[in-house]
Amino acid sequence: MKRNVRKSFETGILVFGLLLAAGIPALARNLGTVTLLHDAVLHGKSLRAGNYNVEWQTHSPEATVQFSQSFKVALFTEGRVERRPRKYAQNSVVYDTAPDGSLSIIEIRFANSDKVLVFD
């Protein structure tokens, strides 16, 4: 009986360690929120004006970026992370205006961070 309890305990410790180790890559994800004041285009896909959760995983310096609203993925794209010489005071979106008047997202800046998501 003692042997079964000990074996169960050891198995539980092993499972806990594996679950903890599996959760560590999730900590490498970065999260932020942005408000698009205008409809915009990002890599040929449209994003309607509104609030978005932005989550990215870096591949130094490239990043896989996900925009979501109400737990639904609105856009999945690629970008890169750049460091700037200063931290920004608030979240902001930098747009470029196309000749037809449409807006393209070229950069997202996050409050209290010197990291910027850049989109070509």
* Residue owning tokens 């970026």: 65
Task: Over range 35-52, report the average pLDDT.
Answer: 96
* Average model confidence (pLDDT) across the chain: 85
Task: Over range 65-86, report the average pLDDT.
Answer: 96
What confidence tens digit (pLDDT) does each residue in 18-33 have? 444 444 444 456 999 9
Instruction: Tell me the residue type at 108.
Output: I
Instruction: Tell me the two tokens of residue 93.
Output: 């979106």
Instruction: Tell me the two tokens of residue 105.
Output: 């997202």
Q: At 9, is the secondary structure helix, strand, or coil?
A: helix
On whether the CB atoms of residues 109 and 86 are closer than 8 A, the answer is: no
Statement: residue 95 has pLDDT above 80: yes
Q: Using CA atoms, how far apart are residues 39 and 71, in angstroms rounded to an integer?
A: 20
Supply the pLDDT for residue 22.
Answer: 47
